[in-house]
Amino acid sequence: MRKIIRVQSRARGRAPRPGLASLLGLILLLWGVISGLLSTSRGAFQPLADAVLIVAAVAWIMALVIHNDDSLVSRVSIFTMALAGGVLTSFTPIAIVFSAVAALYAAIHWRLAVATLTVVVGWATVLISLAISSPSNGWSTGDLATLLAGLIIGSTRQQSIRQAEVATQKKIDEVRTEVEHERAELLAERNHLAREIHDVLAHTLAALSLQLEAFDTVVDAEPETGPGVREQLARTRRLVRSGLDEARRAVQALRDDSGPLDEQLRTLAAVHDTTFEVVGASQRLPPQITVTLYRAAQEALTNAVKHATGSAKTVRLIYRDADVVVEVINDGGTTWSNLAHSGSGYGLQGIAERLALLEGRLDVECVDESKGGGWRVVASVPTNLVEGRESFTPSPNQR
């Protein structure tokens, strides 16, 4: 994904920036047109020539300022520039550049038919203006050649831009294919690890659990067995059962495709009959972050079942500017499950260590201690890690 972002950034960096060059060209053209107007006798048409020159300059500036090439104002500006250039050509030949630039802009931004129409409008205006002001002079093929040059240059530029866009899209598709291939290899490796854990560790722990159950039966049959032995045996059995549960969860996490975190948490909340909320715009997170935050919510809900059976629980996924947060809240409870005494007690500590590797953190706090209320478990990962930046600046509530 980072590769795709970099390709798109480079494509944006190559985007043409004709504003300054076009403005400089306008200034030079105005200089030439004004010089031509001053050196010729315009007679009664002098106010008209001055007004048309101003209109042509304003139309050029409007075409530069407006970024939406398909807008009505942009189209009117370019056609106005073509008309004004045609009128001014009857006073000074250099003014044909206005119409040529209009043809250039039209060929770059619009279809060839519309650009050709711009040339026709400009050329027709030249012919009409010359026929009115100087019918004996006729028309020059140089004016038509100038208009056609603008059309050809603009069309060539449009083709170059389209070729660059096609090449960029092709590069993005290639990188996306490479990313998907790497993702497929990663999923295959995860499935391999899941099979190894299931076939070796999980089977071994399951067999050990059965042996302990059988040994427990033997111990119960011996009345002389001391209470310390029975307690130690029960503790060992709980530890093995907890390890087996952890192994099964690890296998499940490895085999599950890392889909969107909100979908995984919504499914998890439904299994535990828990309220689920999403705050902020959803983001696509890297697999290691998705798995870690999911495991944090899973561990927090497991603890709520163990220590506060029947309590109301809420899972909240929060997308913020500084971090992505998973918050699990339970309001306490008056009943306790038999599972409260099972497990090693290091689940949340392991989650905190995993979050630390991602420059995140885990906070556990009492919701309402005065009422003997429940607990809030908050797991967070900074968004600069999500976006692929290497530096990390903790937010004020993380210091």
- Count CA within 13 A, CB hemisphere, residue 391: 2
Condensed to tens digits (0 to 9), the pLDDT of residues 3-29 reads 444 444 444 444 444 556 555 655 655
Would you call 34 helix, strand, or coil by DSSP? helix
Q: Give me the architecture of the 259-399 domain, per CATH.
A: 2-Layer Sandwich (3.30)
Query: Which range is least confidently modeled, 6-10, 90-94, 110-114, 274-278?
Result: 6-10
Which spans in 197-276 are helix H?
A: 203-221, 227-255, 261-271
- Count CA within 13 A, CB hemisphere, residue 209: 14
Task: Report which of 332, 343, 329, 286 is spatially closest to residue 309, judged by C-alpha positions.
Answer: 332
Condensed to tens digits (0 to 9), the pLDDT of residues 148-199 reads 888 888 888 888 888 998 898 888 878 877 877 787 777 777 777 777 777 7
For the chain, the domains span 1-257, 259-399
Please tell me the distance from the alpha carbon of residue 341 to that of residue 337, in angstroms, as a whole number: 8
Report which of residues 24 and 282 the model is more confident about.
Answer: 282
Q: What are phi and psi of 13, to 5 degrees?
A: -65, -25
Q: Which residues contact 276 (CB under 8 A, 6 or more apart)?
A: 265, 266, 269, 270, 314, 315, 316, 317
Q: Report whether 283 contacts 262 (CB < 8 A).
A: no
Sole residue written with tokens 């007679």: 43
Helix 96-109 to helix 72-89 angle, to the nearest 10 degrees? 150
- Angle (CA) 31-37-38 rounded to 5° is 90
Take residue 339 and report the two structure tokens written for it. 């599972």
Predicted structure pTM score: 0.43
Condensed to tens digits (0 to 9), the pLDDT of residues 241-270 reads 777 777 777 777 666 655 688 888 998 888
Report which of residues 94 and 26 the model is more confident about.
Answer: 94
Task: Report which of 397, 257, 276 is spatially closest to residue 326, judged by C-alpha positions.
Answer: 276
pLDDT of residue 190: 74
